[in-house]
Structure 1
Amino acid sequence: MGLVFALSSATPVPSAAQPVTNPFPSTYRPTVSAPLAITGAHILTGTGAEFVRGTILVRDGRVEQVGEAIAVPEGYVRIDGSGKWVTPGIIDAHSHLGVGPAPSTPSHQDTNEAVSPNTAEVWAEHSVWPQDPQFRLARAGGVTTLLVLPGSSNLINGRSVTLKNVPATTTQEMKFPEAPYGLKLACGENPKRTYGSRGRSPATRMGVAAGFRRAWIDAAAYARQWDKWKQDGADPAAAPKRDLALDSLAGVLNGEILVQQHCYRADEMATMIDIAQEFGFRIRAFHHASEAYKIAPLLAAEDICVATWASSWGSKMEALDAIEENAPIIQRAGGCAIIHSDDGLLGQRLNQEAGIAMTAGRIAGIDTSRAEAIKWITANPAKAMGIADRTGTLEPGRMGDVVLWSADPFSVYALAEKVWIDGALVWDRADPRYQQPSDFLLGQPGQDFTR
C-alpha cells in the first residue's frame, strides 16, 4: 500500500517532450465595466452571512465591499435593490450545455464517446458549441459559471471544462482562466447497460470495479515512467511516448485533475472511495448521488461533495431510493451539498430546485437557513470545481459574479432581473440589449427577441 499511495505525489506528466503545458488556453477577457453599487437589497453572500438591507460594491470586476451602512463613492452606477435580493452568480456543477446542445438532433449530440469503457483521452471542450441557445437561457436563470462534462456511458468518460457563461464564438473565449480540469467517471447502470448489451465488460458492478482498477494500475505505471525519465535527466530524445488517456489518469494521481464521479447508490460510492484510497487519489464530488443521505457521515469525513437534485428520481433502479431531503441531510452531517442540473431545463431554475430541497428538509425537521442553502448553488459547487478562491461567494476580492433577484430566490416567483459576470452586465430582463440570442438563432423563422 505504501507504493500506491506514494503515487499521489507523482511528477506532473509533460504534454509533449515537453513544450506545451496548456495546449488549449483560455482567451476569456472580462468586459470593462463601470463601478457598480446595489443598495438596500437582501444579500445572501454564500459565506453564511446575510444582510437584510445591504449594499454591495463591485469595482474592476471584483467585489469591493459588502455589508450594511456602506457609503457609495462617486462615480458608481447605483441600483436600488429595495425589496429585492442579491446572491452570488449560480454555479451549475453538472451541465452538458454545448456538448448536448439544442436543437437536439443526432448529428448535433456530442455528449458520449461511447466506443470504449475508458475514453479518458477525450475533452469536453472539444465538443462545446458556444452558440448553444441554452447558454442564454441559463444566464436568464442566474447561472454565471458551468462545469460542462462528458456523459456517463463509459467508466472513464473524459475531461470536463469550466466555463464562464458569456456570449462567445469560441470555447476558449468562455473557458474559466486557470480552472482545474475534472475527469468524469461513472459507475452503476450506465456503463453496465452500454457495454453489457454489447456482450462486453463491464456487464456487472464487479466488472465496473475491476475496470477502474485496471485503468489506475496502467496510470500508475505510466506516471512511474515519467518520474524515471525526469530522474534520469529529462532528455527529450528519451521521453516516453505520450498516451492521451493516461495523461488524464496520471493527472488525477498527481492531484492536478479533479475526479467528478457519477454514482447513485450508497454501496457503490463506498466502493469507489476504497478504490480511490487504493490508488492514492481523492474523489472531489459524487454526482447525482441519490443515496448519499445513507452515508452522509462517511462522505463528510472524506470531504467529498455531493452534487444532487431534489425532485429528480425513479428514472432507473439506482435512482429509485432518492429523497428530496438529500442535500439538507448532507449539510446537517457537515458535508458539502450541491444542487446541480444535468439538464438544460433544470439549469434555468436551480434556485427553485434548491428551494424544494430546503423546504423538504424543514418538513423533515432540518431547519437549513437561506444563508446556508444558497451555498448549494454557489459556494459549494465552486469548492467541488476547484475555483472557490475566485468565485461562489460575495467577498472582497472575489469575481463580481452577481445576481439581482426580483424576490426571495428560493421562491417560484423569483426572476433573475440582472446578472453580472466579472462586474459586467450580461443579462437584464428589462433591456433587450442584454438579452441577445445565440447567433445561430438570428434570422430563424418565428424567433422574436424584441420581447
Structure 2
Amino acid sequence: MRLKLLAGLSAASLLAGCATAEQPRAGSASAASARAEVADPYPSTYRPYPGVTTAITGATIFDGEGGRIENGTVVLADGRIQAIGGADTPVPAGASVIEARGRWVTPGIIDTHSHLGNYPSPAVEAHSDGNEITGPVRPEVWAEHAVWPQDPGFSRALANGGVTTLQILPGSANLFGGRAVTLRNVPARTMQQMRFPGAPRGLKMACGENPKRVYGSRNQIPQTRMGNVALMRQTWQRAIEYRDRRARERNTARDFALDTLVDVLNGDIIVHNHCYRADEMAIMMDMAKEFGFRIASFHHAVESYKIADLLRENDVCSSMWADWWGFKMEAYDAVNENIPLVHNAGACAIVHSDDPNGIQRLNQEAAKALADGRRMGIQIADEVAWTWLSYNPARVLGIAEETGSLRVGKRADVVLWNGHPFSVYTRPERVWIDGALLYDMNNPALRPVSDFELGQPGEGDVK
C-alpha cells in the first residue's frame, strides 16, 4: 500500500484529523458545496501530512504568477506560505533552514488533465476504467469512483515531475464523459483521502472524432460532427427542463445524469472540453452561451492559435501539449508555437499531460514551447511561462485561492529544483505539499515507491 511510501511518517499521521475544520468562504468552492441541495456523498477526508517550519533561502524564486525573486526566501509554517521575499525576509526562530543558492524554487506543478488511477500501471485491460463506452451521454459516472490510489504513476509524478495537484478526468469516448475530480498527490489508502478539500468537481465533455467514431461505428448517433452537436444540444435542453421541473415540483424523480448537468448550469461544476479544432471550439463557446454554462478550458486544443482572440474574449483557457500532434486528422493542423501564440494574444495558456510519462516532464514540455515561441520572436520570461504550470491550472480548477502560486496564506505546495526548472538536466530535489516534505532526492526514506512499482530504469527505480 502507498501508506508505507514515506518512511518516518506513521499511519496515525495520515489518519489523524485536523485540529480545526476548514470553514467555507463566501464565493469559494467549499461555500458552493455548503449550499448544495444534496450533501456530497463522497466527501474529502484529506488530512495534511505533518510538516515543520522551514525556510528556503538564497534561491531564485518563480512565484507562479509571473514574479521572480533573486536570492529569495520562502518560509513554510503550519501548512501554509508564511513569508516570501528577498534575502532580508525574517526567518522564524527554530526553523529548519535550507540554503538553496544556485537552485530554483517554484510552486508545485498542477496537471489539469490526467488519467492516473483510472488507467493505472501496469496498463492491462483489467485496469482500464476511464471510459464508460455504453452510451454517448454518460454524465452520471464519476472518475473518482475508479481511482486506484496505489497507481505507481502518482509517486512518479511527484518525484520526477514535482506535481503536487492533478485533475483526474474520464476519457473522451463520450460527448459527456462524466465528472472529474481534483486530487492532492499524496500517499493515501482511499480516493477520499486524496481529494482536494473544497475543490469543485469537473465535467468532461468531448467533441470531434472520438465520439462520432465510437458510436457511429455502431450505426447510432453521433456518426458525424453534426450528430455530436445535435445530441449535446438535446441533452442540455433536457437538463434545463429537469432543473425547472425540479424547482416547481418537490417530488421530481431524481436523475443522476441530469443532476450533474444542473450543477454545471448552477456554476458548481466546471466544464473541461476535449476539443482539437478551432471551428469546433468556436461552436462549443456558442453552445455555452445558448444554454447558459461556462467552459473553463479546452483540452488538447491544438488549433487554439487560430482563435486566440475568441478564447481571450470568452475567458476560456487552453490546456495544451507542446508538440504532440499528427496521430489523427483533427490533430494535424498543429504548430509548435501554439502555447506561446495563445499566451501572446492575451489568452490563458496551460501545459497539460494526458499521459503517465508526460506528467513527469511537464516542466520540460513548457520549456519546449517557450523555446519555440522565442524562435519566432515571442519573448516570454521564464518566470511568466511558469504560470502555464501552476497558477493558470489552479484558476481553471477553481482552487487558485488555495494553491498555484507562492503567496502568503496559500497552501505550501513548493518544489526546490536542483537546477533551472526549464533544463532537461534538472530534477526536483525536494517537494512539499501543505508544508510537509514528501520527497527528498537526497534521503532514501523520503523517496516514495509503491508496492506495485515495477522499478523500470528512470521510472521510479530508487536503488
Q: Normalised by the size of structure 1, how large is the TM-score? A: 0.92
In 2, the alpha carbon distance for the partners of 1:276 and 1:226 equals 22
> In the alignment, does 2:261 pair up with 1:241?
no
Q: Residue 400 of structure 1: SS of its match in structure 2?
A: coil
Contact 1:339 1:353 in 2 (8 A): yes
Q: Which runs of 5+ in 1 are unaligned?
A: 1-11, 230-237
Contact 1:338 1:377 in 2 (8 A): yes
Contact 1:100 1:110 in 2 (8 A): yes
TM-superposed deviation, 1:362: 0.5
In 1, the alpha carbon distance for the partners of 2:55 and 2:213 equals 53
Q: Residue 332 of structure 1 is aligned with which of 333, 339, 344? A: 344
Contact 1:283 1:304 in 2 (8 A): yes
TM-superposed deviation, 1:441: 4.0
In 2, the alpha carbon distance for the partners of 1:373 and 1:449 equals 30
Aligned pair in 2 of structure 1 residues 159, 337: CA closer, same or farther (>3 Å)?
Answer: same
In 1, the alpha carbon distance for the partners of 2:193 and 2:214 equals 34
Q: Residue 126 of structure 1 is aligned with which of 145, 148, 153? A: 145
Q: Residue 97 of structure 1 is aligned with which of 107, 116, 121? A: 116
Read off the aligned partner of 2:385 and give its amino acid letter. A
Deviation track 1:28-80 (CA, whole Å, cap 9, x = no partner) reads: 10112110100000100011110111000011000011110212121111111
Q: Residue 268 of structure 2 is aligned with which of 256, 271, 274? A: 256
In 2, the alpha carbon distance for the partners of 1:243 and 1:438 equals 39
> In the alignment, does 2:301 pair up with 1:289?
yes
Aligned pair in 2 of structure 1 residues 37, 14: CA closer, same or farther (>3 Å)?
Answer: closer
Match of 1:79 in 2: 98
Deviation track 1:243-262 (CA, whole Å, cap 9, x = no partner) reads: 11000011111111100000
Read off the aligned partner of 2:101 and give its amino acid letter. S
Q: Residue 405 of structure 1 is aligned with which of 395, 401, 417? A: 417
Read off the aligned partner of 1:373 and give its amino acid letter. A
Q: Residue 264 of structure 2: SS of its match in structure 1?
A: helix
Aligned pair in 2 of structure 1 residues 354, 65: CA closer, same or farther (>3 Å)?
Answer: same
Q: Residue 197 of structure 2 is aligned with which of 173, 177, 184? A: 177
Read off the aligned partner of 2:169 and give its amino acid letter. L
Contact 1:99 1:110 in 2 (8 A): yes
Match of 2:7 in 1: none
> In the alignment, does 2:329 pair up with 1:317?
yes
TM-superposed deviation, 1:327: 1.1
> In the alignment, does 2:390 pair up with 1:378?
yes
> In the alignment, does 2:154 pair up with 1:135?
yes
Contact 1:222 1:246 in 2 (8 A): yes
Match of 2:23 in 1: none
Contact 1:263 1:288 in 2 (8 A): yes
Aligned pair in 2 of structure 1 residues 323, 226: CA closer, same or farther (>3 Å)?
Answer: same
Aligned pair in 2 of structure 1 residues 15, 52: CA closer, same or farther (>3 Å)?
Answer: closer
Contact 1:93 1:340 in 2 (8 A): yes
Read off the aligned partner of 1:400 and give its amino acid letter. A
Q: Residue 137 of structure 1: SS of its match in structure 2?
A: helix
Aligned pair in 2 of structure 1 residues 450, 366: CA closer, same or farther (>3 Å)?
Answer: closer
> In the alignment, does 2:178 pair up with 1:158?
yes
> In the alignment, does 2:70 pair up with 1:52?
yes
> In the alignment, does 2:248 pair up with 1:228?
yes
Contact 1:86 1:402 in 2 (8 A): yes
Contact 1:13 1:247 in 2 (8 A): no
Aligned pair in 2 of structure 1 residues 321, 433: CA closer, same or farther (>3 Å)?
Answer: same
Q: Residue 282 of structure 2 is aligned with which of 241, 250, 270? A: 270
In 2, the alpha carbon distance for the partners of 1:328 and 1:441 equals 36
Match of 1:41 in 2: 59
Contact 2:449 2:460 in 1 (8 A): no
In 1, the alpha carbon distance for the partners of 2:199 and 2:192 equals 12
Contact 1:152 1:262 in 2 (8 A): yes
In 1, the alpha carbon distance for the partners of 2:94 and 2:341 equals 46
TM-superposed deviation, 1:438: 1.6
Contact 2:447 2:462 in 1 (8 A): no
In 2, the alpha carbon distance for the partners of 1:314 and 1:434 equals 40
TM-superposed deviation, 1:436: 2.5
Read off the aligned partner of 1:187 and give its amino acid letter. C
In 1, the alpha carbon distance for the partners of 2:149 and 2:305 equals 36
Contact 1:13 1:223 in 2 (8 A): no
In 2, the alpha carbon distance for the partners of 1:205 and 1:325 equals 27
In 1, the alpha carbon distance for the partners of 2:34 and 2:407 equals 36
Contact 1:90 1:378 in 2 (8 A): yes
Aligned pair in 2 of structure 1 residues 332, 413: CA closer, same or farther (>3 Å)?
Answer: same
Q: Residue 369 of structure 1 is aligned with which of 381, 384, 394? A: 381
Aligned pair in 2 of structure 1 residues 110, 298: CA closer, same or farther (>3 Å)?
Answer: same
In 2, the alpha carbon distance for the partners of 1:443 and 1:53 equals 37
Contact 1:436 1:449 in 2 (8 A): no
Match of 1:308 in 2: 320
Q: Residue 271 of structure 2: SS of its match in structure 1?
A: strand
Read off the aligned partner of 1:28 and give its amino acid letter. Y
Instruction: Percent identity, please.
Output: 54
Match of 1:148 in 2: 168
Q: Residue 452 of structure 2: SS of its match in structure 1?
A: helix
In 1, the alpha carbon distance for the partners of 2:450 and 2:247 equals 46
TM-superposed deviation, 1:442: 9.1
List structure 1 runs of 4+ shifted beyond 6 angstroms. Answer: 12-16
In 2, the alpha carbon distance for the partners of 1:448 and 1:114 equals 32
Contact 1:95 1:344 in 2 (8 A): yes
Q: Residue 192 of structure 2: SS of its match in structure 1?
A: helix
Q: Residue 31 of structure 1 is aligned with which of 49, 54, 57? A: 49
Aligned pair in 2 of structure 1 residues 449, 412: CA closer, same or farther (>3 Å)?
Answer: closer
Aligned pair in 2 of structure 1 residues 448, 57: CA closer, same or farther (>3 Å)?
Answer: closer
CA root-mean-square deviation? 1.9
Read off the aligned partner of 1:329 and give its amino acid letter. L
TM-superposed deviation, 1:440: 3.2
In 1, the alpha carbon distance for the partners of 2:52 and 2:332 equals 50
> In the alignment, does 2:223 pair up with 1:203?
yes
Read off the aligned partner of 2:76 and give its amino acid letter. V
